[in-house]
Amino acid sequence: MTKRGMIVLGLLLAGSATIGLAQSRLVGINAAIRNSVQIKPAGATAFSSARLKQRVSLGDDIQTAASSVLQILLLDKTTFTVGSNARVRIDRFVYDPAKGASAVGASVAKGAFRFMSGKPTRGMPGQSNVNTPIGSIGIRGTIFEGVVGSDAARIAGGEDAVGRVASDPNNATLIVLRGPGGRTQGDEKVGAIDLTIDGKMVGLAQPGMALFVPGPGKAPIGPFMLSDDGLLALHALLRTTPSRRGSNAVNVDGSPIVDLILECEGFSSSSSSSTGGPIASSSSSSGGGCRSGN
């Protein structure tokens, strides 16, 4: 092959790789929306209103307003709920349907969030994590909730274990382990999370146990059992129930509904490449009983 031919072939291969990478960035869909949620795709210059069943890609920036919630259903059926006054991003997603294994990485700059592992995350234990301003949360197949910012300081301030403490209103972080769900660990294992803060690790392995970090560089407080009032206050920031009848929001806790959304959107269990490994692929579909999203 001539030198010119090799250059042309190299350009064609590079173009194919770029197209494949762009197509592989899909990680899930918007399964529930409440009030004001904005999304800015990677490389875009402006946010736009999120839509129900809109596809979510790696690197999309998501922000919510007060009393607003977005729940993302990932291809491995992990659910990531973004609560009030939040700013988050899915940074990493690797899914091998053939092996039933997946790993998720997300960043939470502010606001409330809930992470509910899908079963495949058990196939890659310790490889899923959520990064916050105070450190990283390693996930071992479970459900946990957290909040970053002034709401974290407000909720923690009402706990006897915390009391009056100076907190960073922008970066204070409260994390609580909620335990397994029906589609995650079942009754086999409780699951756990490991928080790495300033190079030190703190584990939460009992449902209801919480940790509060007043801000970057500040010593963590806990673990302690979060009170019922604290749990309710955190839940209020993450409620996905429609605020009015006929709303486009859906009940994401009902697996038949989320399964139907996946089917209608054409998500399959075949594998294609993603960042660092296989990922479930997608194709357009409009099967029976499916309605187009807004």
- Domain ranges, ordered by start, for the chain: 3-282
Tokens of 166: 């100076």
Q: How does pLDDT run across 149-166, given as a tens digit for each residue?
A: 999 999 999 999 998 899
- pLDDT band of residue 266 (cuts 50, 70, 90) is low
Using the structure block, give the residue that is written with the tokens 């959304």: 261
Using the structure block, give the residue that is written with the tokens 């250059």: 7
Q: What element of type H or E holds 4? A: helix 3-23
Q: Are 176 and 143 in contact (CB under 8 A)?
A: no
- pLDDT band of residue 44 (cuts 50, 70, 90) is confident
Tokens of 283: 């194709």
Span 32-39, mean pLDDT? 92
- pLDDT band of residue 286 (cuts 50, 70, 90) is very low
Beta strand spans in the chain (E):
26-34, 37-40, 48-49, 55-57, 61-64, 69-74, 79-82, 87-96, 101-116, 128-132, 135-140, 143-148, 173-179, 192-197, 200-204, 209-213, 221-225, 267-274, 277-282
Q: Are 31 and 261 in contact (CB under 8 A)?
A: yes
Residue 249 has pLDDT above 80, yes or no: no
String of b and e for 53-73 (b: at least 16 CB within 10 Å)? bbbbbbbbbbbbeeebbbbbb
**When comparing pLDDT for 262 and 220, which is higher?**
220
Share of the chain above pLDDT 90, in %: 39
Q: Are 106 and 91 in contact (CB under 8 A)?
A: yes
Q: What is the pLDDT of residue 233?
A: 93
String of b and e for 164-176 (b: at least 16 CB within 10 Å)? eeebbeebbbbbb
**When comparing pLDDT for 190 and 41, which is higher?**
41
Span 39-60, mean pLDDT? 91
Topology classification of domain 3-282: Jelly Rolls (2.60.120)
Spell out the residues 6+ positions from residue 151 whose beta carbon is closer than 8 angstroms to its own: 84, 85, 111, 112, 233, 237
- pLDDT band of residue 173 (cuts 50, 70, 90) is very high
Pairing of strands 101-116, 128-132: parallel
